[in-house]
Amino acid sequence: MRRIIAAALLVFACAACNQQGLVQGSTEDPPEETPVSEEPTPAPTATPADPVDPIATPLPTPVPCAFYGIGAGGDLWIIDPAAVTAQLVGNSNLQNTSDLAVTADGKMIVITLTAAYQLDPTNAQAYPYNSGAWVQGQNALDVTPDNRMLVGGGGALTFLGSGPTFDVLPFGSAAWSGDVAVMGDIAYGSALDNWEGPDHLIRIDLVTGSVAQYGSFTAPGIFGLDVACDGSLYALTQGSPSEGILPRVFHVNPANGAVTELGDLVGPTRLWGGAGPVVPPV
């Protein structure tokens, strides 16, 4: 019996030692936790893109063989004159855009009555090109195969830089208006009729300087005129949104000045210029 009691006391004493050891071990301080910041890590600051300089950084070139139209409110269109369809590219946010042209080195130039701009042909974004008007009342523009710009306004056509100036309206019945289209050494232009009749077709020999009244359109307001990729000469009327009149497309035969109406152009409401490729394929 005493042995049993002694054994029990021994077990109790060992248990007490172990418990004391456990309590002493638990009094150690826990490791400190790294505080978590509630402030978000700032993202790297993006460097703003520099504005595009179309001279230092060339803009995209126009769609090969495309025929473009420009609206009075700066809206740029790709037009298929043979199919009489139009697709909007974008808006340049310019006003009174009176014509456009595509240069031999792939620039799209648009003019207003007071300045000139280069357009990005993918979205119609405009960049300053010339701060003033080249000629008074400029409203016609085209480019020769050797990349000379021909600008019309105020009753005359002139080459920029060097070259002759042509008095394109020796006719009392017409007033210079719409557009000019270069086909080799010959340029064709449209002119308003002073008696509110159909526009006149003018033929200008760029070598000899001779000017002739070559034919007549069947409608007024021919403000777009140029050569398309198929080698044909096409004309566009401006249209009249207030009267619900759509722009119309015409085919012009350079051999005899005959004009054929092709139909109404759905999409644009007021076109003030047209431009095809500089040198259409043969």
pLDDT string in tens for the chain (282-residue length): 434 333 433 333 433 434 444 334 444 555 555 444 343 444 343 333 344 556 568 899 999 999 999 999 999 999 999 999 999 999 999 999 999 999 999 999 999 999 999 999 999 999 999 999 998 889 999 999 888 999 988 778 889 877 777 876 655 556 666 899 999 999 999 988 877 788 989 898 988 888 888 888 988 899 999 999 999 999 999 999 999 999 999 999 999 999 999 999 999 999 999 999 876 554
The C-alpha angle 126, 154, 157, rounded to 5 degrees, equals 80
What b/e string do you get for 55-84 counting C-beta neighbours within 10 Å, with b at 16 or more?
A: eeeebeebeeebbbbbbbbbbbbbbbbeeb
The C-alpha angle 135, 136, 139, rounded to 5 degrees, equals 80
Beta strand pairing status for 75-80 and 67-71?
antiparallel
pLDDT tens, residue by residue, 131-160: 999 988 899 999 998 889 999 887 788 898
Which pTM was predicted?
0.78
Least Cα distance to 250 among 104, 91, 122, 81 occurs for 81
